[in-house]
Amino acid sequence: MNQQDTPLFSALLAHAKRNPIQFHIPAHKRGRGMHSAFQSFIGENALSIDLINIAPLDDLHNPTGIIKEAQALAAEAFGADETFFSVQGTSTAIMAMVLATVGPGEKILVPRNVHKSVLAAIMLSGAHPVFLHPEVDTELGIMHGLSVETVEDALIQHPDARALVVINPTYFGVAADLRRIVEIAHRYDVPVLVDEAHGIHTAFHEDLPVSAMQAGADMAATSVHKLGGSMTQSSVLNVRRGRIDPRHVQVVMSMLTTTSTSYLLLASLDAARKELALHGRERMEKAIRLADEARRRINQIPGLYCPGKEILRNSATFALDPTKLIISVKDLGIRGYDVEVMLREEFNIEVELSDLYNILCVISWGDEREDILRLVDALVKISAAYKDQIGKRTVQVKVPSMPELRMSPREAFYAKTESVPFHESVGRTIAEMIMVYPPGIPILLPGEVVSKDNLDYIEENLRAGLPVQGPDDPEIRTIKVVRE
Ligand SMILES: Cc1ncc(COP(=O)(O)O)c(C=O)c1O
């Protein structure tokens, strides 16, 4: 195999050049049948490869040609035995991992702070989740991964578990000691499924946490689109043979995937894989250098703190992705969301996310030093505007408590329900998810008992203007609970 090749992208280019008369969908026919403003903005090139699975272009659902070749190159580049492309983001790849490994009533070990796609898959599969406590950072107000001890205790108590889910690294760029976690899970013959939405780049530089495949995990759902340079929505599912049968994974992926797969997304995966395989290290070196400079400069700004390796204290916080800048703003006496809005409205800067206490900025090789200096300059100005408040208002950091699970999420989701006013839901079993997105980690999920503490936390997020979502009632004046 030659990582210089892009079998899928190149075949699409050749097909577009051949320019056959198209009596097939999409009806826009290379853009000619499209709204003209959209067509001219997107451009002829992109529209000429917006194609479907006609025979010369292979089929993602049963690849035998150029998609198979492109996936094999990706597997080699990412250190997997087999790689499946996803045109529905990592969410679908995660659902496929779960649905391919656990069935109704079977146990799956999951950190409570998982992305909603893991929980959706658990609800669809009918598996029984055993929730594990992640490490909580009470200074930053964020949750990290699982400690080795938590995983080992869970396996001792549940040796019959059919899978273990691990987030590596978290949205905030903190990784657990994945090698040891995998080693312990494998002692119990339990496959390790890794949510690697924020880890496509880690295999390509020695200063980054290890990737799931490097750590010996069995499967990893990985967002190439987030940090690896492909187009939004394109991800991969990396598989190691042994505990997992890749043919079954292919079947499950196919069950969950649209039959109208976007060749633009597939081609962008092929091209991003080539870029990572050939130039990943040097590209990541640039991103790490830029992030290091940003971190150094931000830590000189009064009232701001951008954590580095000093927050790595144990096996749950074992390695750091330095390209994620967590910027704690609580000492300015304002919310993360306030800073997000100021950066948007006063400085034309958009961040990745904000929460009650922090903003998160993602640095990639697509950034330039001037971008970093503009961010630092904006933060200097914001800090100066709040200098009188620094150290005066102590912000009490709260992290939502882990609710009691009274009923399986699937049972609660399908139970007879009723809507009750928000404050009257305390003590009831919730039948829907409530989360802040991003990061998309549920504060409450179906089957859990609502506590006042959870409601206070939701209200605080709503008051701060953060995007709380999930319930049937978008205003969250009522909550759907299981009828008693
Ligand atoms: C931890 C985590 N897992 C999974 C996902 C889902 O990834 P995607 O957006 O590619 O579907 C996200 C998205 O933000 C995430 O943060």
Q: pLDDT digits over 115-157, tens only?
A: 999 999 999 999 999 999 999 898 998 999 999 999 999 999 9
The model's confidence at residue 200, banded by pLDDT at 50, 70 and 90, is very high
- For residue 423, the CA-to-ligand 1 centroid distance in Å is 30
Which pLDDT does position 465 carry in this prediction?
87
- Judged by DSSP in three states, 304 sits in coil
Q: What percent of the chain has pLDDT over 90?
A: 92
- For residue 131, the CA-to-ligand 1 centroid distance in Å is 19
- For residue 29, the CA-to-ligand 1 centroid distance in Å is 33
- According to DSSP, residue 32 is labeled T
Tell the residue number behind the tokens 């009232």, with chain if given.
303
- Judged by DSSP in three states, 290 sits in helix
- For residue 419, the CA-to-ligand 1 centroid distance in Å is 29
Which of 177-197 are b and which e, b meaning 16 or more Cβ less than 10 Å from the residue's Cβ?
A: bbebbbebbbebebbbbbbbb
Q: What are phi and psi of 25, to 5 degrees?
A: -70, 160
pLDDT at 112 over 80: yes
Longest distance between any two alpha carbons in the chain, whole Å: 70
Q: Which atom of ligand 1 is nearest to the CA of 88?
A: 11
E-strand stretches of 345-483: 353-354, 358-362, 417-421, 434-436, 441-444, 468-469, 478-482
Which residues have a Cβ under 8 Å from the Cβ of 348 and sit 6 or more positions away? none
Which pLDDT does position 438 carry in this prediction?
72
Which pLDDT does position 395 carry in this prediction?
67
* pLDDT tens-place string over residues 423-468: 999 999 999 999 887 777 889 999 999 999 999 999 988 998 888 9
* Range with lowest mean pLDDT among 63-77, 322-336, 353-367, 463-477: 463-477
Angle of helix 66-78 versus helix 263-298 axis, rounded to 10: 20
Which pLDDT does position 415 carry in this prediction?
97
Q: What is the dihedral of CA 181, 98, 231, 12, to 10 degrees?
A: 120
Q: Which residues line ligand 1 (CB under 6 A)?
A: 89-91, 94, 115, 117, 167, 171, 195, 197, 223, 235, 438-440
* pLDDT tens-place string over residues 284-317: 999 999 999 999 999 999 999 999 999 999 999 9
Which mutation among 88, 90, 469 tests ligand 1's pocket best, with the greatest number of atoms within 8 A of CB?
A: 90
* pLDDT tens-place string over residues 236-254: 999 999 999 999 999 999 9
Compute the mean pLDDT over every residue in the chain, rounded to the nearest whole number.
96
Q: Which atom of ligand 1 is nearest to the CA of 226?
A: 10
Which mutation among 86, 200, 223 tests ligand 1's pocket best, with the greatest number of atoms within 8 A of CB?
A: 223
Amino acid occupying residue 479: I
Amino acid occupying residue 376: V
Question: Rounded to an integer, what distance in angstroms lies between the CA atom of residue 470 and that of residue 218?
Answer: 31
Q: Which atom of ligand 1 is nearest to the CA of 233?
A: 10
Mean of the pLDDT values across residues 253-260?
Answer: 98
* pLDDT tens-place string over residues 380-408: 999 999 999 998 766 677 777 789 999 99
- For residue 343, the CA-to-ligand 1 centroid distance in Å is 24
- The β-bridge partners of 167 are 195
> How many angstroms separate the Cα of 152 from the Cα of each of 23, 176, 191, 374?
58, 14, 14, 45
Q: Choose among 93, 95, 84, 87: nearest CA to 62.
A: 84
**pTM, two decimal places:** 0.96
**Residue pair 238/220 in contact by the 8 Å Cβ criterion:** yes
Question: Rounded to an integer, what distance in angstroms lies between the CA atom of residue 406 and that of residue 402?
Answer: 12
Question: Rounded to an integer, what distance in angstroms lies between the CA atom of residue 60 and that of residue 430?
Answer: 38
* pLDDT tens-place string over residues 28-46: 999 999 999 999 999 999 9
Which pLDDT does position 394 carry in this prediction?
65
